[in-house]
């Protein structure tokens, strides 16, 4: 290589270093964490937290989730921790006109120093902080120090000050079962890190997101807002807003270009107007040429999820900066039309088509987010998609998730109902608090708005209901003050920001709420759980929770559910093996944070099934199995009612249910909870039930008094299609049906149609079933031409009274595979049974390392042979899979 070529390459590199903005990451495992009295100093990793740093350095010798370590390690949260590191800065950074420290997430209250000079403070976990550090840097080695204050002591100090100077802001206590910490509502931090009724208290400290140095000579593009506006069925228009951050205090010129994939949609030289804080907002109407074919984005089950790469480039005399995002073209509407005799509808339309919302509620997947992997989050969201869901509610007591979460939701067609991070509490409406919240909401909406998966924003979780239902005694005294504060926070501040930053978005002040009716009531309803308006949260913990008549005739149920225990394998990771003998042992019970939760599970099992004998890990496994049946059947009863409840009551206007989001999808740790997926990713029986209940094609047999009814539900747009209906009545003791009823029925798109109705007593009489305790009904609907089929069952009596149900003696005839290598390894399993088997549960031995999901599980087996598929991310030897596969049915449980 000649010297001239070397000099030319050096000149090119120098040129690009000069004209492009530079980002230097300060992440890494070269930080140190020190406690307040300096008795501990350990190597730290960023992003991270002090708990995980102490784990890596063997200061915390056990998993914080193990046993009672949420108590044993409480000292960590009460200490104050300081993070520091040294880093180098070269001329390419120093020579830039603007050099800034950008902290994408500090948890939570801190002071930041560069070379021993304090440059700023933080008090909000959900805010990106930016500090001008150019004058504090030196060429070569520099130091950064972030000194955190305990969230517990900080929150208590603010609470005490607020009570002294103003008034109490409840809650002042936490339920004993939650074993939690107080005053989380005084600090902008993950509310559930102070504990919840499904999670532990670990109010940690640390640099939980990226921390970087940004250096540039003019401006950078921070966020891009995109509104996709349909012109007609084939044409779309874009309204784009660029949010830039500039070093200037006055206007500057630049060339702006917008590309969709590689096609330039917009090019213009523009004068940027800079406001006092250096921010620039530029709104651009961008038409899309007719020659560009646009495919609409749809949620899972309604169509494809086409995403388009959009790039914005700004070229100034000093810099070339760009930002890339992916967008989808879709229009979402929340339809709230009047209904007679009273009420409003509450459902979504996507690209002009009504959508039945089917999904769940998302809680933080770990109390230490740094321990989560992209693969784990993807598997959880893939489980959402595979269970035929089209919506997740990101619950308001957790966090705003990482960008990857929303990108995956875009790809998988999962709409996000997004709470802002306020839950089950009132909040101190001070100027400092409101200013911090205003920054938080602005930043988060700007960051997330462009995702087609964002369906709506909700101000909080259950805080309107808390006021209306007098959750805390202080409301009786200070109710007017609290209502005024509520309106200030969720209407005057948050709502105004959402309107400004996402004017095409949907905003509800709370969940549950009465939607438009809440606005008519001055933003606070006396009955925010009114079935004729908006969404409701409904929990029924009594022993007859399998009875569909117990559930509300509502428009949209955004929370409902029942608890179950996680598997023995999950519990064995955090409970000593010697304690895995009884479900109510101290070691297991202490993980139950829902008041009376274990009793509710017990009584639901006792009402419907025979209780297992006690003692030993196998008997614990039986109890867990029964708890998961109990949960699954409760969800089945409630969800199937919501799915078929499309009619409107002429008496009170209730009905026309168009959404069911059960509580909850995932777990934050290993615990009895409402989840359908255990911590670690294992599907409970409930998730397999959900997969069937949320299918676009669902048949629901049920009894209405003494009438057997069958409803066929379709949530597709394929037109009228004839279907074959088959109703079978079995005795529990035989695989041969007593009666088979065959009909041809016509089905319609986006409907819930009654396709069969007859007195149950007459059906059983025709089947010669003289005792309901002896029989079960199975219903199948299919169309072979479309390869459509759905089946379901109806229990006719409590299972503890079932007569003739016996060991089915299921055996594995064949295991073969793998048959497909993308994206999963697929194995075929063929089962054989001698008798009817109920709640057939396939699993693997406790010592097995096999992971994956079955095509079906927890099912009714009424044929001699059953074909099942198993999906694994990793290849498995067939002999190993067969030898470690275990099968349990209700008849195999050893009962009292």
| Active site residue ranges | 462, 559
Query: Pairing between strand 853-854 and 788-795?
Result: unpaired
Coil, strand or helix at 806: coil
Query: Pairing between strand 140-148 and 110-114?
Result: antiparallel
Spatial distance between the Cα atoms of 658 and 391, rounded to a whole number of angstroms: 12
Let me know if 421 is exposed, middle or buried by CB neighbors in 10 A (0-12, 13-18, 19+).
buried
Spatial distance between the Cα atoms of 162 and 185, rounded to a whole number of angstroms: 12
Spatial distance between the Cα atoms of 137 and 768, rounded to a whole number of angstroms: 89
Question: Which are the contacts of 361, defined by CB distance < 8 A and separation ≥ 6?
Answer: 392, 393, 395, 558, 559, 661, 662, 663, 664, 665
Residue whose C-alpha is closest to residue 404's, from 209, 594, 212, 118 = 209
* DSSP code for 581: T
Question: Which are the contacts of 294, defined by CB distance < 8 A and separation ≥ 6?
Answer: 234, 235, 236, 288, 308, 329
User: In which element (H, E) is residue 297 found?
Assistant: none
Question: Which are the contacts of 844, defined by CB distance < 8 A and separation ≥ 6?
Answer: 850, 884, 885, 886
Q: Is the peptide bond before 502 cis (omega within 30 degrees of 0)?
A: no
Residue whose C-alpha is closest to residue 83's, from 59, 54, 50 = 50
Total number of residues shown for the chain: 896
Spatial distance between the Cα atoms of 32 and 216, rounded to a whole number of angstroms: 29
Structural contact between residues 861 and 810, judged by C-beta atoms closer than 8 angstroms:
yes
* DSSP code for 274: P
Spatial distance between the Cα atoms of 281 and 245, rounded to a whole number of angstroms: 9
Residue whose C-alpha is closest to residue 552's, from 673, 659, 632 = 659
Question: Which are the contacts of 823, defined by CB distance < 8 A and separation ≥ 6?
Answer: none
Say how many CA atoms lie within 13 Å of 608 toward its Cβ.
23
């Amino acid at each position: 290589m000649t010297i001239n070529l070397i000099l030319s390459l050096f000149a090119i590199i120098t040129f690009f270093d000069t004209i492009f903005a530079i980002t230097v990451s300060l992440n890494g495992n070269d930080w140190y964490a020190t406690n307040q009295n300096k008795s501990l100093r350990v190597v730290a990793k960023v992003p991270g937290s002090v708990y995980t740093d102490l784990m890596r350095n063997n200061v915390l010798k056990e998993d914080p989730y193990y046993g009672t370590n949420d108590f044993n390690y409480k000292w960590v949260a009460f200490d104050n921790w300081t993070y520091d590191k040294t880093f180098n800065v070269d001329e390419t950074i120093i020579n830039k006109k603007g050099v800034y420290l950008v902290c994408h997430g500090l948890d939570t209250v801190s002071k930041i120093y560069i070379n021993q000079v304090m440059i700023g403070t933080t008090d909000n976990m959900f805010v990106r902080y930016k500090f001008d550090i150019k004058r504090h840097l030196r060429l070569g080695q520099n130091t950064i120090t972030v000194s955190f204050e305990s969230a517990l002591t900080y929150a208590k100090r603010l609470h005490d000050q607020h009570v002294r100077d103003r008034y109490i802001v409840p809650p002042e206590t936490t339920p004993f079962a939650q074993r939690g910490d107080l005053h989380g509502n005084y600090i902008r931090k993950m509310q559930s890190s102070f504990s919840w009724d499904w999670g532990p208290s670990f109010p940690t400290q640390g640099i939980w997101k990226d921390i970087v140095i940004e250096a540039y000579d003019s401006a950078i593009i921070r966020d891009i807002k995109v509104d996709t506006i349909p012109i007609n069925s084939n044409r779309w228009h874009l309204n784009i807003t660029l949010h830039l951050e500039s070093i200037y205090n006055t206007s500057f010129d630049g060339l702006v270009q917008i590309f969709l994939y590689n096609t330039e949609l917009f090019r213009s030289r523009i004068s940027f107007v800079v406001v006092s804080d250096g921010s620039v907002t530029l709104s651009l109407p961008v038409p899309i040429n007719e020659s560009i074919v646009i495919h609409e984005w749809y949620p899972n089950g309604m169509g494809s999820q086409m995403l388009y790469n959009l790039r914005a480039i700004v070229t100034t005399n000093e810099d070339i900066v760009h930002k890339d995002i992916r967008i989808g073209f879709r229009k979402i509407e929340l339809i709230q039309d009047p209904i007679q005799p009273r009420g409003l509808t509450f459902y979504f339309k996507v690209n002009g088509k009504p959508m039945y919302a089917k999904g769940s509620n998302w809680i933080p997947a770990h109390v230490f987010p740094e321990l989560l992997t992209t693969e784990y989050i993807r598997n959880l969201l893939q489980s959402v998609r595979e269970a035929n869901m089209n919506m997740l509610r990101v619950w308001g007591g957790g966090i705003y998730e990482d960008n990857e979460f929303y990108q995956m939701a875009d790809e998988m067609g999962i709409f996000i109902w997004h709470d802002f991070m306020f839950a089950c509490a009132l909040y101190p409406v001070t100027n400092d608090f409101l200013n911090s919240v205003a920054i938080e909401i602005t930043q988060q909406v700007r960051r997330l708005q462009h995702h087609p998966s964002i369906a709506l924003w909700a101000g909080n979780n259950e805080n309107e209901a808390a006021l209306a239902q007098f959750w805390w005694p202080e409301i009786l005294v200070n109710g007017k003050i609290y209502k005024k504060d509520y309106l200030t926070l969720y209407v005057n501040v948050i709502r105004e920001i959402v309107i400004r930053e996402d004017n095409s978005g949907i905003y509800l002040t709370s969940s549950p709420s009465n939607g438009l009716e809440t606005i008519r009531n001055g933003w606070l309803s006396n009955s925010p759980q009114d079935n004729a308006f908006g969404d409701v949260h409904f929990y029924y913990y009594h022993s007859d929770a399998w009875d569909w008549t117990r559930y509300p005739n509502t428009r949209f149920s955004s929370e409902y559910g029942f608890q179950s225990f996680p598997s023995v394998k999950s519990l064995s990771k955090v409970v000593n093996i010697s304690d895995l003998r009884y479900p109510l042992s101290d070691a297991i019970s202490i993980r139950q944070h829902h008041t009376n939760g274990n009793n509710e599970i017990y009584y639901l099992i006792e009402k419907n099934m025979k209780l297992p004998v006690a003692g030993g890990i196998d008997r614990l496994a039986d109890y867990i199995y029964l708890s998961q049946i109990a949960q699954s059947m409760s969800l089945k009863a409630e969800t199937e009612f919501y799915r078929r409840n499309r009619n409107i009551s002429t008496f009170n206007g209730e009905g026309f249910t168009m959404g069911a989001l059960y509580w909850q999808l995932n777990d934050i740790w290993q615990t009895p909870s409402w989840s359908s997926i255990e911590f670690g990713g294992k599907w409970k029986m409930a998730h397999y039930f959900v997969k069937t209940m949320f299918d676009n094609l669902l048949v629901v047999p049920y009894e209405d008094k003494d009438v057997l009814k069958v409803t066929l539900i379709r949530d597709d747009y394929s037109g009228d299609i004839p279907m074959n209906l088959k109703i079978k009545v079995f005795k529990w003791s035989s695989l041969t049906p007593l009666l088979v009823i065959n009909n041809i029925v016509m089905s319609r798109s986006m409907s819930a149609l009654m396709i069969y109705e007859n007195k149950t007593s007459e059906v059983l009489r025709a089947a010669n079933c003289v005792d309901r305790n002896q029989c079960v009904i199975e219903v199948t609907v299919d169309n072979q031409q479309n390869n459509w089929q759905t089946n379901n069952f109806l229990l006719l009596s409590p299972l503890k009274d079932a007569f003739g149900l016996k060991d089915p003696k299921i055996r594995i005839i064949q295991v073969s595979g793998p048959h497909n290598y993308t994206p999963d390894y697929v194995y075929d399993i063929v089962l054989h049974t001698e008798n009817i088997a109920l709640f057939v549960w396939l699993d693997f031995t406790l010592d097995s390392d096999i992971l994956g999901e079955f095509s079906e599980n927890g099912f009714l087996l009424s044929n001699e042979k059953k074909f099942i598929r198993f999906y694994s991310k990793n290849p498995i030897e067939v002999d190993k899979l067969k030898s470690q596969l275990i099968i349990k049915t209700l008849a195999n449980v050893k009962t009292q």
